[in-house]
Amino acid sequence: MKIVERPSPNHDSRDGQVIDILLLHYTGMPSGEVALEKLCDPNAEPGRVSAHYCIDEDGLTYRLVPEDRRAWHAGVSSWAGDSNINARSIGIELINPGHEFGYRPFPEPQMTSLIVLAQGILTRHGITPDRVLGHSDVAPLRKEDPGELFDWRRLAASGIGVWPTDETVIGEMSGDLRDADGDMAQLQKMLHEYGYAVPLDGILNNETRLVITAFQRHFLPDRLSGTPDAATQGQLRRLLDGRRHSSGSDG
Ligand SMILES: [Zn+2]
């Protein structure tokens, strides 16, 4: 694929850390050019940021930072108990105004370029499907990107990331777990097991609500309620079951 070189000075060493996460973002800026300038700005306030790639809405793909360098896109973040996300990830920014400046669907040419780019990255680094994540997955208290309009299901169909296979039950489930203490603790435990940084106190506090919202943004975008309903629990269970099966098949 054609890649335009647009080098950013904002990177440093991975210090030997192996790459095992692909992290997806939207730029969340008024225009693509403003976003690219910021990602390449050595004097950006309040802090310097970057990503390895940035894909415009017309599909044009920019390389900002070489893959073997650490780009600065994750910020304070955590997945599966590890907060060293920049060192172990490749970051792709998708140009989109985001929730602050007019969130809109990701156009077809942008998705096509992303799929080609991501397939290459996963192959080069052997990143497992369940470690293709959104910024909101690793920073659920601060971030909403790439957001509920991002088509994770389609990505999974192209071999990038995971999507639960059996969805037939979701429509039938409407129960609410808020009154069931045991279920709240169980849901937190499952979110934690999947990789989310979530309290394990059995209480539906604001932090837990934000983590549930992040999960829904990724895996239940049509039901973005922030409430711990049975559909959320069902989707989580399918993901955890799917992971057990896939890790089991490796022996
Ligand atoms: Zn982001």
Residue 107 has a CB neighbour count (10 Å cut-off) of 15
CA–centroid distance, residue 92 to ligand 1 (Å): 9
Dist CA 150 CA 220 (whole Å): 11
14 within 8 A of 87, measured Cβ to Cβ? yes
Within a domain: 70 = yes
Q: pLDDT of 103-134, one tens digit each? A: 999 999 999 999 999 999 999 999 999 999 99
Are both 142 and 228 inside the same structural domain? no
Q: Note the Cα 234 to chain centre separation in Å.
A: 20
- The end-to-end CA distance of the chain, in Å, is 35
| Active-site residue, 148 included | no
> What is residue 176's predicted lDDT score, i.e. its pLDDT?
58
- Of 37, 57, 67, 93, the active-site residue reads 93
Range of the structural domain that residue 187 is part of = 166-246
Domain boundary among 157, 179, 210: 157
Burial of 65 (0-12, 13-18, 19+ CB in 10 A): buried
Based on the structure, what is the number of domains in the chain? 2
Are both 226 and 145 inside the same structural domain? no
Are both 184 and 60 inside the same structural domain? no
Percent of the chain with pLDDT over 70: 91
CA–centroid distance, residue 230 to ligand 1 (Å): 29
Q: pLDDT of 167-188, one tens digit each? A: 545 444 445 554 455 689 999 9
pTM: 0.93
Are both 76 and 11 inside the same structural domain? yes
Dist CA 75 CA 136 (whole Å): 11
Domain boundary among 116, 134, 157: 157
136 within 8 A of 74, measured Cβ to Cβ? no
Are both 126 and 177 inside the same structural domain? no
Within a domain: 251 = no
> What is residue 175's predicted lDDT score, i.e. its pLDDT?
56
Residue 216 has a CB neighbour count (10 Å cut-off) of 22
Are both 131 and 219 inside the same structural domain? no
> What is residue 153's predicted lDDT score, i.e. its pLDDT?
96
